[in-house]
Amino acid sequence: MSTMEATNAENPSRSKSPSLQKDNAEAATYDAASLERQQPRPLKTRILAVLWDTFDKSPEERKFVQKIDWWILTYCCVAYFVKYLDQTNISNAYVSGMKEDLGLSGNDLNYLNTFWTVGYIVGQLPSQIIITKVRPSIWLPTAELLWSIIVIGMAGAKNIETMCALRFLVGLLEASAYPGIMTLLGSWYTPMELGKRACIFQASSSAAQLFSGYLQAALYAGMNGRSGLAAWQWLFVFDAGIIGIPVCIYGYWAIPDSPTSSKAHWLKPKDRELAIGRMERLGRAPMKKLDWAIARRVLSTWHVYLFCAIFIAHVLGIRIYSYFNLWLKSTGRWTTEEINIIPSAGYGLQILFTLSYAWTSDAIQSRWQLIIVACVVAIIGTIILSIWPEDNLAAMMTGWLLTFCETGAGALIITWINELLSYSAEHRALVIGVVETAAFTFQAWVPLFIYNTGEAPHFKIGYEMATMFFALEIVLTLVILYLAKKYPIKTV
């Protein structure tokens, strides 16, 4: 979508109806940055603006964006890094002594992941409703503090029943992080800034997955048996106690709520005025308390249904790369250590591609093209795996690694929601919560049918289904684009 198309699609103030002109404060997004881009700017300024969006701003606004980057973005990335580290750590702990110490067997690891997923699903919508009633600066760090205490408690679990109960609570509290932080970012950043920040935030999860294996190896070598704790127990203590608790304490100070309600000590009065002015120019309304009338309006629009569908396709599609290590093990070519290290190349690609999507989408001020590009790259990989050229090591490695490259599209999809629903913070919060809940509900059971681990690593339909999910994501992207242009929201 071009800049002007996006503006027209998302800005009802351009409607011919005079009454809608009067209700501009409740209109859909008005991209004020598009007016700035209509003014001639030197080539150097345009290049610098693509590299980082503060370079083409006034000194006052540049200083303000740098300030919120320092406080908001650092908290968001480190907090999500810790959360994703825990999601990855359970598997590392399982193969590093937890299985033997707790007497686990059979599907116990699957049960641990299932209980976490159920908790995550249950916690999504309640958390998003809570942040419309309780300040995010109170709710998000408090949920993280409780999460940290429970993760530390996992180090003391003595049986599978206790561990499953704790994993459910961990998922329940962890559910606040991704949708809550994405909603927070949408309250402070403009369309020229949001894509980069959302994808940098997304990339922190890839960094956590890349880091987790090395962390477990280091703890196993240096901490196993220290203070009477096994290395797998130290993994939980290190994740939550040494990293998680300091981060949540930082969150109480760093999270600024919304521009109109912020009480952050690091924001000066002129900063608040600038923040409110930036959001008003975009038609981005402040957060109000969620009620049933708002919920009914959300459910009466197409956004919630189509964004649920596209995010479900995205989450089910990217599931494929989690089976990379099963293929590595099946070849018999690599040691256990190498099997744990080789996937780090895929996570490195995730970071590279996610950030490239961010910079490009912000530069062209549009999201849909990059979502399609991400899907096409992954489809090439899934087609290779569907053909299964098992005797061609280079082709197989290429196919697997390309499946990692679509992950960043998820952040672009959520960014698109933030931009299309700029007129109402409650709509954004509720839709993001519903979208996340729907996606993980499907992820809880669909992989059991298409990725039967008894068939690993050559799943009969898994790779073909992954291709279909990415193709469906492309189709739904085009449908959303069409509807955003033809049926823009005119009132809240």
Nearest-angstrom CA–CA distance, 83 and 89:
10
Nearest CA to 322 out of 434, 135, 450 is that of 450
Residue count of the chain:
492
What type of residue is 331? Answer: T
- The pTM score is 0.74
Q: 407 with 206: CB under 8 angstroms?
A: yes
Cα gap 421→15, rounded to integer Å:
17
Residue type, 460: K
Predicted local distance difference test score (pLDDT) of residue 491: 43
What are the pLDDT digits (tens) for 194-228? 888 888 888 888 888 777 767 767 776 777 778 88
- Residue 294 to residue 288: CA distance in whole angstroms: 10
Tokens of 442: 């499907």
Distance CA 73, CA 178 (A): 13
Q: Summarize pLDDT for 31-83 with one digit per residue, the tens.
A: 334 434 444 556 566 666 667 776 777 889 989 999 999 999 999 998 888 88
Strand spans (E) along 291-398 = none
Predicted confidence pLDDT, tens digits, the chain (492 residues): 433 334 344 343 344 443 333 344 333 333 334 434 444 556 566 666 667 776 777 889 989 999 999 999 999 998 888 887 777 777 778 767 888 899 887 778 778 888 998 999 999 889 988 988 899 999 999 999 999 999 999 999 999 999 999 999 999 999 998 889 988 888 898 877 888 888 888 888 888 877 776 776 777 677 777 888 888 888 888 877 788 889 899 999 999 998 988 989 999 999 999 999 988 887 776 666 666 777 788 788 899 999 999 999 999 999 999 888 888 888 888 886 677 788 889 999 999 999 999 888 888 888 999 999 999 999 999 999 999 998 899 999 999 999 999 999 999 999 999 888 877 777 888 898 899 889 989 988 888 788 876 777 888 899 999 999 999 999 999 999 999 998 876 544
Per-residue pLDDT, 266: 93
Report the interhelical angle of 136-154 vs 74-93 (nearest 10°): 20
Instruction: Give the distance from CA 238 to its chain's centroid.
Output: 23
What backbone torsions phi and psi does residue 419 show, to the nearest 5 degrees?
-80, -45
Here the tokens at position 227 are 């203070």
* Contact by Cβ (8 Å): 492, 427: yes
> What is the SS3 assignment for 178?
helix
Calculated CA dihedral for residues 390, 393, 399, 401, nearest 10 degrees: 140
pLDDT at 322: 84
Distance CA 312, CA 470 (A): 10
Nearest partner of 144 among 211, 212, 80, 90, judged by Cα? 80
